[in-house]
Structure 1
Amino acid sequence: MSRAPDLPHHILALADSQLHYTQYGHGASAVLLIHGSLCDYRYWRWQTPALAERHQVLAPSLRGCWPAAQAHPQPGYSIDTHAQDLAHLVRALDRHTGVHVVGHSRGAQVALAFATLAPALCRSLTLADPGFRFDDEPESPPFYAQTIGQLQAGDIDLALQEFIDTVNGADTWRRMVPWFKDMSRDNALTLLSQVREANTPVRARDAAALSCPLLLVGGANSPAKYGSRQDRLQQLVPDARRVRIALAAHGMNLANPRAFNQAVLDFIEDAEAAHQ
């Protein structure tokens, strides 16, 4: 496995905020990596060097996340705002022919919102274990309601254990490496904003109308709810490619990065060939 790089840090000025991101590698095409809950661009430490061998890699920390984690809750922390920020980033970096978008978990919903908002900027779309609700499904209480109470009480590690073990399997938090725990602690309070949009739906018609190639990636051991989202997306987009990452659950890109990276690279290569 390649050594995790010391990533360069950049800041893009927005109208009402800043977007922190890293940019790594070179290439005619670019890959935009969108992290999920409790994360920031450090989450992609095993993807950045591998993907950068063929492409330029852009990895932002979404608004409100480390290193600019502000007081939460905050109104700017939303799926649509994140998508708008990322479209601004892609245009600011002069990637007007588009990027290959990879989103994980909550980041998959941001990725889909980006593809809907700016379809001309999305050359391909990879959704890894999306967990969103569709607009024709009923709302349900967020699974991390107890986590919110623990955060408000100041029990940060207990709250993180509850959240991480729910999405990835029992005892995951205890076994996680120190850098991941530090990253999660840095972003723990974002859940106070995230819970306010927990039932934000994806419109089924938006998914069905996607014009770019779609890859659905799931962990072989991920909770069933993530597979159900991919099943529905496969129905809406019959041409979508689907891959399961062996020996991995929700955090598949960390548990089995070689398999995850190869699946993404193969898909991007095919999407580039089809685009020519």
Structure 2
Amino acid sequence: MTMQNDYPQHTLALATAPMTYQDVGESPTCLLLVHGSLCDSRFWRWQLPDLSAAVRVVAPSLPAYIPAPSAPSGADAQFSISQHTTDMFALMDHLGINHFAVLGHSRGGRIAAEMACRRPDRVTHLLLADPGLGSVLPEDSMPALPYRDLALAAYEQGNTDAALEIFIDGVSGAGTWKRMVSWFKAMTRDQAGTLPLIIREPLYELNPSRINEYGIPVTLIGGSDSPPPFPAIIEALQHQFDHFKSHTLTPASHGLNLALPHAFNQIVIQELIPKAP
């Protein structure tokens, strides 16, 4: 398995499953990166060099995602926003990092948001890139997402690539899978076993009250070409948070950090380390 860059991989033995992670940079300012569905730490391959030059970056592959020295037991029970949030805090505790910013993409945005809700005294900045927080939308405005059931059916029939193509195109736009480079396809194939867990996962309900109470700054980053429901989620979140800034990357779809990595990285750095006036 080819991993990104030359940064070393470390392994933390959690009670539920082993977790691999990368820890790069020496700044006292720390940023935790939380990937989304069908991804792992490779998803941040174009972020680690730029970001680690400015801040310390911790980039894990969530438990139940490979690479891991052994497959986790009871994956169904352990694959949840709540458990993955607990796992992320366990990682930061292991590293002795008490205060940190957290950036979550897509499903990772749910984990990042839950971390800020659960321990607002530890999260210094919440960054959400096209977050999968559909619960903030009115029920009648949430678009139907038939690709999820179609992808699950294809996967259960043993058509893994077809399932991945249906899911990726549903999330990022028609034709995305065919345009994806080889390393991205390899990554999603490695993580294909999580597809049923993703699709069957209950809806995450965001409660921003503690985030607002603690005055945590929130940065929202969306793609100009991201398909529904992501633009509507970004717009709705602007009414949920008291302290936020919003950025749109153009032209970019759901994989905005891969489409425009330099622009994405600059937004993150500027938000975490504001320039002196």
Q: Does 1:222 align with 2:223?
A: no
Alignment of 1:183-262 (within 5 A): 183-203=187-207, 205=209, 208-209=212-213, 211-262=215-266
Unmatched runs of 5 consecutive residues or more in structure 1: none
Equivalent residue for 1:116? 117
| 1:138 CA displacement | 3.8
Question: 1:67-108 CA distances to partner (integer Å, 9 max, x unpaired)?
Answer: 135588621011111111101111111111x11111000000
Alignment of 1:74-113 (within 5 A): 74-96=76-98, 98-113=99-114
**Cα contact 2:81–2:110 (8 A) shared by 1:** yes
Distance 1:188 1:83 in 2: 21
| 1:230 CA displacement | 1.3
Alignment of 1:167-178 (within 5 A): 167-178=171-182
**Secondary structure, aligned partner of 2:238:** helix
**Cα contact 2:64–2:75 (8 A) shared by 1:** no
Instruction: Rate the CA distance shift 1:91–1:71 in 2: closer, same or farther, 3 A.
Output: closer
| 1:193 CA displacement | 1.1
| 1:211 CA displacement | 2.8
Question: 1:195-247 CA distances to partner (integer Å, 9 max, x unpaired)?
Answer: 22242322354565463110000001111311111111111114310000111
Equivalent residue for 2:47? 47
Distance 2:212 2:200 in 1: 26
**Cα contact 1:218–1:244 (8 A) shared by 2:** yes
Equivalent residue for 1:181? 185
Moved more, 204-213 or 174-183: 204-213
| 1:251 CA displacement | 0.2
**Cα contact 2:100–2:122 (8 A) shared by 1:** yes
Aligned-residue sequence identity (percent) comes to 37
**Secondary structure, aligned partner of 2:253:** coil
Distance 1:150 1:206 in 2: 40
Distance 2:47 2:23 in 1: 12
**Secondary structure, aligned partner of 2:82:** helix
**Secondary structure, aligned partner of 1:197:** coil
Distance 2:213 2:222 in 1: 22
Distance 2:195 2:211 in 1: 26
RMSD: 2.1
**TM-score between both structures, scaled by the size of structure 1:** 0.90
Instruction: Rate the CA distance shift 1:181–1:190 in 2: closer, same or farther, 3 A.
Output: same
**Cα contact 1:28–1:56 (8 A) shared by 2:** yes
Distance 2:57 2:42 in 1: 13
Distance 1:56 1:188 in 2: 30
Please tell me the residue identity of whatever aligns with 1:57: V
Question: 1:156-201 CA distances to partner (integer Å, 9 max, x unpaired)?
Answer: 1111111111111111101100000000000012121122224232
Equivalent residue for 2:30? 30
Unmatched runs of 5 consecutive residues or more in structure 2: none
Please tell me the residue identity of whatever aligns with 1:37: S
**Cα contact 1:33–1:58 (8 A) shared by 2:** yes
Equivalent of 1:166, from 160, 166, 170? Answer: 170
